[in-house]
Chain A
Amino acid sequence: MPAVQETIDQVRLIDVDQYKYGFETEVEMEKAPKGLSEDVIRFISGKKGEPEWMLQWRLDAYKRWLTMNEPNWARVSYDKIDYNDIYYYAAPKMNPSPKSLDEVDPEILKTYEKLGIPLREQEILAGVEPQNRVAVDAVFDSVSVATTFKEELAKAGVIFMPISEAIREYPDLVRQYLGTVVPVTDNFFATLNSAVFTDGSFVYIPPGVRCPMELSTYFRINEKNTGQFERTLIIADKGSYVSYLEGCTAPKRDENQLHAAVVELIALDDAEIKYSTVQNWYPGDAEGRGGIYNFVTKRGDCRGKNSVITWTQVETGSAITWKYPSCILRGDNSRGEFYSIAVSNGKQQVDSGTKMIHLGKNTTSRIISKGIAAGKSENTYRGLVSAHRKATGARNFTNCDSLLIGNQCGAHTVPYIESKNATAVFEHEATTSKISEDQMFYCQQRGLSDEEATALIVNGFVKDVLQQLPMEFAVEAQKLISISLEGSVG
């Protein structure tokens, strides 16, 4: 309840069209030459001090990418992207591997302070219960600038570091798993990412270890005309558990910027990974100028028996979202879950959903998707549930609800269901509703303003999914949803 009140206060404080994280950081940057070529890839690989195999991997991906076409099946439209008009590497000029925060540019530290992301461990420690601590990897354009609680995590055997560092320090581990969930050839954007990825997080949880704190990565795009191509790889070894959070913001700019990430999760026998995202990239202005193109491939592999992967996402940002966090249910008795809230306002376009691929026996999956469309936005749920012929006893439950605010937006649901095993049981429920004028009037009659009433009704609509988020995140997400919808009534 206090969260609802905060939401309301928050909504009141800001003007229409105000994106809270739209500021820019002035910092001296080092960039690769504009455009994409083998030389640029060699430049990136060289900057990261990568071994030869990694460079070869990238170059192979690049060659492959040159032969591929951009996908056009999603329900989104945008001007053709000129891939040679983008910087593929931009990093603040600083010590490439800072030993402590004192070596990090104070402007960058200030940026994270403004974003409310704590990087100083001492400050985080003060007044926070150990179980509520969050370790952060902060990625600024193409590089990770700081990672907190590394040592404490290392004591538990947990590896949490920028992926570029992991490639140098744990090459065998990275090589064993990288590209095994999202192959280099998977799709146009994933292949591009494989060629040019710059940074992201690497997580390894050893057998039987319950990660002692939440891990998180905070992605910030700052530099103009720069794409962000992060790569995240999380491995939960047998019987381990980890909860991982991801947040993203970018400055307001009139040009569109490309964000093409790849996230791979691997859960071995009896392991569990919870992956939560609050995606708040700059969505563009009310006229649809600017904003991030968020073209992301996220996939988890329940490789071991009894393994569990849960995706929870709150999507409020980006001009265009193209994103389908999926689960491959390979291990017997494994479970995949997808909880999503996708909010679109203004001229945002969202085409998002999930894939649950049932391969193993007695695998189960659950999909709860809540789409909220306001303004002139288009919001599509696209999902696939499939059972392989060996997936005896596969079960899925899907629930897709859409809520429309106003009469100029659209909500669409495109579910694909394929079953090659007669014992599989798939259920699909879908509803589309509008906030009715009668509901609004009822709330207003009790004293709630337009905005308060909308916030309350929307919070009720997304409640099932919010409950899946870690506590602090849920409060944040609730605020964010209201802010995104602000100005949508009228």
Chain B
Amino acid sequence: MLEIKNLVVQIEDKRILNGLNLTVNKGEVAAIMGPNGSGKSTLSYVIAGKEDYEILDGEILLDGENLLEMEPDQRAAAGVFLAFQYPLEIPGVASMTFLKAAINAQRKARGEDELTTPDFIKRVNAAATQLEIPKDMLKRALNVGFSGGEKKRMEILQMALLQPSFCILDETDSGLDIDALRIVSEGVNALRSPDRAFLVITHYQRLLNHIVPDTVHVMHGGRIVRSGGKELALELEANGYADYRESEAA
């Protein structure tokens, strides 16, 4: 599914990713954990194609296709979805309008027919009900005046509608209370499937109690320094990242 080989990235002459290697297989949920500043969010942005990053070396392949040669919207149409840590506000554009524009843009890019309005509304309503998103929220301008929990639920709603094959969740648990965390996690779990992979970026074990990962990778200093099963997350929770910091100092 996703293969990252020797990725070296800098921003304004500051090296962030330092020869990162990572493979995520179809159907797998991979968690990336690591201390602040280890390069986790940069990794998610680079996969999704945000500008401002300079790729010095390496490649990112999605089903064998080189993502680094594609524009962000082409990557989206190819199946990459990034649930943002801080979703952006789009004033004056109803969430519903935004959702329809996004779905149809992707369908068009893939050479598929656009969704009819009734079909679209049916899908939105089904997904919104599951995520406990009230209808009036869909009429409001996207993310404008939304609470932290509402913004995150809207991200998952978009994910559910766009049906991407590779989903990145960037600190999706930040700013969520317990109820919102449950709703969001259930939403994500409902999307788990043998054809879809997830990259779950988080500081805390807490989220991984709800979205149980198949693999856990520890990121530090711009590369993956340790990989293991879900038990690795528990170990980190108990010991913190101190070991890795020391190893760097040594």
Tell me, yes or no, whether A binds B: yes
Q: Given known contacts A441-B51, A442-B88, A460-B141, is B102 in contact with A448 (CB within 8 Å)?
A: yes
| B100 interface residue per 8 A CB criterion | yes
Q: Given known contacts A448-B105, A459-B93, is B84 in contact with A442 (CB within 8 Å)?
A: yes
Q: Given known contacts A441-B50, A456-B98, is B92 in contact with A446 (CB within 8 Å)?
A: no
Binary interface encoding of chain B residues 83-102 relative to chain A, with 1 for a CB under 8 A from any of its CBs, else 0 = 01001111111000110111
Closest chain B CB from A400 CB (angstroms): 15
In the complex formed, the residue of B with least CB distance to A439 is: B88
B106 touches A445 (CB 8 A): no
B92 touches A444 (CB 8 A): no
| A463 interface residue per 8 A CB criterion | yes
| A126 interface residue per 8 A CB criterion | no
B158 touches A1 (CB 8 A): no
Q: A301 vs B158: C-alpha distance in the bound complex, in angstroms? A: 50
In the complex formed, the residue of B with least CB distance to A5 is: B104
Q: A157 vs B89: C-alpha distance in the bound complex, in angstroms? A: 51
Binary interface encoding of chain A residues 428-469 relative to chain B, with 1 for a CB under 8 A from any of its CBs, else 0 = 000000001111011111111110100011011111100000
Q: Given known contacts A1-B97, A4-B97, A438-B88, is B105 in contact with A452 (CB within 8 Å)?
A: yes
Q: A31 vs B81: C-alpha distance in the bound complex, in angstroms? A: 63
Q: Given known contacts A4-B101, A460-B141, is B162 in contact with A447 (CB within 8 Å)?
A: yes
Which A residues from 73 to 88 make CB contacts under 8 A with B?
none
Chain A CB within 10 Å — which of B48, B90, B101 has the most? B101
Q: A379 vs B76: C-alpha distance in the bound complex, in angstroms? A: 35
Residues of A within 8 A of B114 (CB): 5
Residues of A within 8 A of B117 (CB): 1
Q: A452 vs B105: C-alpha distance in the bound complex, in angstroms? A: 9
Chain B CB within 10 Å — which of A437, A445, A462 has the most? A445
Q: A443 vs B84: C-alpha distance in the bound complex, in angstroms? A: 12
B101 touches A452 (CB 8 A): yes
Q: Given known contacts A4-B101, A452-B105, is B76 in contact with A446 (CB within 8 Å)?
A: yes
A residues within 8 Å of B by Cβ? Answer: 1, 4-5, 436-439, 441-450, 452, 456-457, 459-464
Could you list some 24 contacts between A and B, CB below 8 A?
Answer: A1-B97, A1-B117, A5-B114, A436-B88, A438-B88, A439-B89, A442-B88, A444-B49, A445-B72, A445-B73, A445-B76, A445-B80, A445-B84, A447-B76, A447-B102, A447-B103, A447-B109, A447-B162, A448-B73, A449-B71, A449-B73, A452-B101, A456-B90, A460-B141
- Ranked 5 nearest A-B pairs via Cβ: A460-B92, A460-B93, A447-B106, A446-B102, A444-B72
B residues within 8 Å of A by Cβ? Answer: 48-52, 71-73, 75-77, 80-82, 84, 87-93, 97-98, 100-106, 109, 114, 117, 141, 158, 162
